[in-house]
């Protein structure tokens, strides 16, 4: 099964993966602040993107990342409780790069420079509800499965309907 493209739907909070064998849907969680491209907005950028990098292959499914690097920590409920308020980036990171110059690429609207990712989140975080700081959060098992099958350059469309 080869992945052809991915669509993130901000309205339905769904990640739809188009493959050579059909379509696979995963629940996700996008920005609490809604859609938007402006740097510092905490919004999820819309439009055409591509996967710039896949980070974390070979790491444990619940590996903790800071600054796109594994910290050596492995997420557990005990670590979560001991680190209240931490914005967890877990498992894998699919770093997105905007394709639309002036809309989600370049200047103050650059998705890559905003560090917009698709990444794993703790099981305590709900899916289907916008709660992130701009990224696309997914269940650990789902993001790891996706990261193992996707390639850099894969198109990711972020839509509102």
Confidence band of 40 (pLDDT split at 50, 70, 90) = very high
- Distance (Å) of CA 7 to CA 1, 76, 107, 154, 157: 17, 30, 24, 11, 5
In angstroms, the CA 78 to CA 95 distance is 28
Residues 146-156: pLDDT tens digits?
999 999 999 99
The bridge status of strand 136-139 relative to strand 69-74 is: unpaired
Angle at 117 between CA 150 and CA 108, to 5 degrees: 130
Task: Report the pLDDT value the prediction gives residue 85, as an integer from 0 to 100.
Answer: 84
What is the rounded average pLDDT of the residues 17-36? Answer: 97
Residues 6+ positions from 85 with CB-CB distance below 8 Å: none
For the residues 55-74, what does the mean pLDDT come to? 97
CATH code matching the domain that covers 3-159, chosen among 3.40.640.10, 2.40.440.10, 2.40.100.10, 3.50.30.30: 2.40.440.10
pLDDT at residue 161, rounded to an integer: 85
Q: Residue length, the chain?
A: 161
Q: Where are the domains of the chain?
A: 3-159
CB count in 10 Å sphere of residue 127? 18
Average per-residue pLDDT for the chain: 97
- Determine which helix (DSSP H) or strand (DSSP E) holds 34, and give its type and residue range: none
Which pLDDT belongs to residue 1?
A: 73
Q: Report the predicted TM-score, pTM, of the whole model to 2 decimal places.
A: 0.96
Q: How far apart are CA 104 and CA 121, in angstroms?
A: 24
**DSSP tag of 57:** T
Is the predicted pLDDT of residue 31 greater than 80, yes or no?
Answer: yes
pLDDT digits (tens, 9 = 90+) for 74-124: 999 999 999 988 889 999 999 999 999 999 999 999 999 999 999 999 999
The predicted structure's pLDDT at residue 22: 96
What does the pLDDT read at residue 84? 83
Q: Does residue 56 carry a pLDDT above 80?
A: yes
CA pair distance 105, 100, nearest whole angstrom: 6
H helix count then E strand count, the chain: 2, 10
Per-residue confidence band for 62, with pLDDT thresholds at 50, 70 and 90: very high
């Amino acid at each position: 099964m080869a992945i052809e493209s991915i669509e993130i739907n901000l309205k339905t909070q769904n990640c739809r993966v188009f493959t050579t064998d059909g379509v696979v849907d995963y629940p996700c969680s996008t920005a609490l602040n809604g859609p938007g491209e402006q740097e510092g907005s905490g919004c999820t950028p819309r439009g055409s993107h591509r996967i710039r990098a896949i980070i974390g292959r070979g790491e444990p499914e619940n590996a903790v990342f800071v600054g796109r690097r594994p910290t050596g920590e492995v997420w557990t409920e005990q670590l979560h409780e001991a680190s209240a308020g931490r914005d967890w980036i877990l498992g894998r990171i699919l770093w997105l790069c905007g394709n639309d110059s002036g809309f989600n690429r370049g200047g103050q609207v650059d998705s890559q420079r905003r560090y917009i990712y698709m990444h794993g989140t703790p099981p305590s975080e709900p899916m289907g509800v916008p709660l992130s700081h701009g990224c696309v959060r997914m269940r650990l098992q789902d993001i790891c499965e996706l990261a193992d099958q996707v390639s850099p350059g894969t198109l990711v469309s972020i839509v509102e309907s």
